[in-house]
Each structure stands twice: as structure tokens, then as C-alpha cells.
Amino acid sequence: MAIATLKFACKPNLLLRPAPFQCLRKVVPKSLPRVEVEERRGSHREQDKGTSEELISENNNSKVRAWKKLNSKEIGLRNSMIAIPTKKVLNVLKKKGHDVYLVGGCVRDLILKQTPKDFDIITSADLKEVRKTFSLCEIVGKRFPICHVHMDGTIVEVSSFNTARCKSSMHFIYDDIEAPHDCDKEDYLRWRNCLRRDFTINGLMFDPYARIVYDYMGGMEDIVKAKVRTVVPAATSFREDCARILRAIRIAARLGFSISRETAQSVKNLSYSVLRLDRSRLLMEINYMLAYGSGEASLRLLWRFGLLDILLPFQAAYFVRGGFRRRDKRTNLLLSFFSNVDKLLAPNRPCHSSLWVVILALHKALSDKPRDSSVVAAFSLALHNGGNLSEAISIARRINKTHDARFPELLDPSGLDEEDLEAEILDLAESVKGSLLQMKDRHFVSGAMADYPQAPHSDLVLIPIPMYLRALNFFDCVRVSASKNFLSKQGRQIDYESLARGDLLEVRHVFARIVFDTVYPLHPGKDQLKKSTGFSRG
């Protein structure tokens, strides 16, 4: 019965082998203010049929799109929203007489009143000129070189129109696409650059000095419709760069957007092509999904489109065992863990990758062997306080509220005495370490979906050895012979710089909050919980 839920993703000709607190969810605007725009149309543009689900064929994509110049103020985009290091780079290049624009996802995020993960600049200056202009700057990348400008402790990425133009001869798929009518030389350069971007909502270009947003690809329309749609036909786009498949998932998850029908179909059909990517690139994309505040939505979309089976087979097997359908709206313990992770993170407040790795390992251990809810709570408390089992057990035994009984991995408290509770905590710690070991072992990864022969299979080991060792060290403090000099985080506020850096005490602190908050969700009786644990939920 569970296997049937995987049927659409099968490829018959392809077989590869201190308590937690609650925060308000981030809100994505469902609509944008109406704006007056200067609109120009090509002679071959078809009239908009008014349907967001209209498929765009190979032929239709070659037709001339409408293009627009929008007043940035009228769509609520102000220069004060640009990060100070980025402003400094823009100002220096502008003073030297170069054209400069913000491009890509940062423009999209500013329009949506979201905090950009980073800011990207494109300029008329050559990359060598940019490197000479800034004392701390290097050119990186071979296929698509860009400059990394170090400014005020951050890196600002700067690309050049000239580099994109030199590379244009390599991209024959764009040669038959007709340029917009009534555009001058500068418009043509901007359009040509936007044409090579992945999604229409990333094809916006903002001139902060003229205060104009250039939209050559219909990006504003798709932002209003909350759609992720490729600039060129999706199959063509994904074959050119299969990493765009994962970016489509990431963007849709983070913004709460839907994926257009044509793009979604190509994501399903070409899902296996992501295995062509270098493992470090795959790990980077998964980290962007799970460490920046959209983990739950990312896992749901990875599952829906058959990518979870390839990238995280243990978690995919868990979904199958639970009878979780591809479009299931229900939750489970894994999704609940990441829902609580997301409440603490944001694009500008990410966590270190070790946090989501240990959460995956803990969940796998609980999925393999369900545990007494008081054991799981005491385990998280022991990690928080540096391994003081006596204190953790004392606090856990004073909790007088019920655990979240929706999840079969969390058993009803069985009234364990202190000695048995300690033994169960230590056993859970060893089980989590065992899960980590399996997650980095190709033999175990390839066998994760062995019970479901119709499902896609993969032997991809996503967790590298250094990450495994770092995560393993996370649990070393939970042992009987732990030193009496217990080290625990001081204070209740999260230090996000330390969290992103992977500071052990900070990551353990956040992990404890997430686990505790999942086992014992927030209820009106939170004051009683605060008294019994010494934690507070802010």
C-alpha cells in the first residue's frame, strides 16, 4: 500500500543504487501594491489569457515578452533596505563611472519585504577593474567567474556584463529568442543578462540610483501570482544546469510559492539528473534548505517531487513507512522537528549544518526505536547542560504536562526510576551515534529503501567524514563518567553568530530547545513548565 504512493516517481529504465520557546512564523505577502509601470511590447507578444497554470511551450518561449520599467518607490523598494556593505560597494563603483545594479534573488526578496540571504551586484566594469578597485577582492569561479569583495566582514558578489557577454557564444539555446522591441544598447545588455537567469522572479534588475526596477522576464507578474517559473522552457533550463532543480525547491519552500505546472513536471522528470552534481554542491543546496528557516517546507517539497528518495533515503523510507502521500498535508515527528527549527532561524540568521545533521540522526534513532517521552526530554536537557545527567533527570521528572501524543516515536511515560532513566538516556545517545554512522555509510544508505523496490534508489552519501565527526562530538558529553565541571551555555538568548559558526555550546542549546519544544508543545500552562524546568519560552 505504501509503495503505491511512490509510483509516479519511479523510473523504469533507471535504477541507481533554558526550555524551548515558540516564535511567530514568517509571513510572505500574498499580494503586492498596484503600480503604474512603463510597459513596452514586442509585435509578436500574445495577449495574456489570465491563467496562472498556462503552459509555456518551446515555441512560445521564443516570442518577445512584455518588458517593464517600474518605479522602485511605488513598489515599496527603498535604498535604505540595502545592506550597508553592499551600498559601499555600489557607491565606489558608481563614483568610478560604472553602471551598477542589484540583480537576482535579493531584488525579489526586497520587493517581498523579505531579508535577502545575500546581495548580488552586476556592473559594466570588467572583473579585473573591480579587483583593482577594492583592496580585499578576488576573482573566483571558472565557468562563471565573479568577484568576491570583502567589505565590513561580509562578502559582496560582483559580476560583470562583459563576462556574461563573452560567455554568450557558449549558449546556443538562447540565440533564437527575439530581443524586446524599442530597447537601446543598455536595455539589450540588461535583457541578455536576465535571459540567462534561472527563474523569472530572479530576473529582476534594480538600479538604486535611477530608482528603477527592470523586468524583462515577467518576474513581477510571477511574484504577484506567487509562482516559480523558469525563464526558458524548464526542460531546457534544467538540462543546462541541473542545480536549478534544487533551487526551484528551495525558493518555493522559502517564499511559500507554488511551482508552475511545466516547471514542476520537469522537476519530476529530471530529478535524477541532480546526481551529476558534485557532492559538495548537493550538500550546499541541502544546507540552504534546512539551515535558513524553511526546513519543513523544503522536506515536504523534496518528498513531493521524489528528490527526498535520492538525497535523504532514510528520511524517505520513514515517510513511506508512515503512509505519507506525496501531497500529504499531515505532519509527522520529522516535520515537527524542522517546524520548530524554522521558528528560530531566518535567511540572515542561519544555523550551522551540524544542527540539522544531529536532528536527522536523533529522528532516525527514534524512528528505529520509539522512546519514552521523558527519556527524550531528559536527553535534550543533558545535552543542554553539558552532560549533567542527574540534573537533567531531576528536571525531566518534575515536568507535569503531557507530551505530544500524535507521534508514535514518543511513548507514554512509564514511570522509570532514576537508574533506569539514566540507562535509557545513555542508550539513546548510543543509538543516535549509530544513526550518524549509518548516514555516512554507503552500504546502509543504498539499503535504506530496499523494502520498496519500486521506489527510486540512490547510494549517495551526503554526510562527509568531517561533518560526521563534528556531529559525533556533539553527544560525547552524555556519559556516566562525565566530568563534574559541566559546561553549558550561559543565558537564554541565541547568539546567532555563534550558532552559524557551529559553536558547540550554542548548537547544543538550540538543539535542546527544538527537541523539548517538539516533545512538549507550547500550551497555556507554559508558566508551570517554566517553574519545573528553569527554562522560558520567549
- CA distances 31 to 104, 113, 220, 224, 302, Å, are 20, 12, 11, 6, 26
Torsion, Cα 412 418 419 424, to 10 degrees, reads 30
Q: In angstroms, rounded to a whole number, what is the distance separating the alpha carbons of residues 360 and 467?
A: 13
Q: Answer yes or no: 412 catalytic.
A: no
Give the containing element (helix H, strand E) for 468: helix 465-473
Judge whether 127 and 147 are in contact, CB under 8 Å. yes
Q: Which long-range contacts (CB under 8 A, 24 or more apart) does 277-282 make?
A: 277/242, 277/243, 279/460, 279/461, 279/462, 279/464, 280/464, 281/243, 282/246, 282/311, 282/460, 282/462
| Ramachandran quadrant class, 345 (left: phi over 0; alpha: psi -120 to 50; beta: rest) | beta
Q: Answer yes or no: 176 catalytic.
A: no
Count the residues in the chain.
538
Q: Answer yes or no: 517 catalytic.
A: no
DSSP assignment string, 488-537: ---SSS--HHHHHHT-HHHHHHHHHHHHHHHHS---TTHHHHHHHHS---
Contacts for 427 with CB less than 8 Å, ≥ 6 apart: none
Q: Among the options 48, 99, 120, 420, which is catalytic?
A: 120
Q: Among the options 198, 215, 342, 372, which is catalytic?
A: 198
Q: What is the DSSP letter of 170?
A: G
Q: In angstroms, rounded to a whole number, what is the distance separating the alpha carbons of residues 205 and 226?
A: 19
Judge whether 460 and 445 are in contact, CB under 8 Å. yes
Q: In angstroms, rounded to a whole number, what is the distance separating the alpha carbons of residues 318 and 218?
A: 40
Contacts for 340 with CB less than 8 Å, ≥ 6 apart: 20, 513, 514, 517, 518
Q: Among the options 48, 99, 109, 118, which is catalytic?
A: 118
Grid cell digits, residue 42: 514586442
Catalytic machinery residues: 118, 120, 198
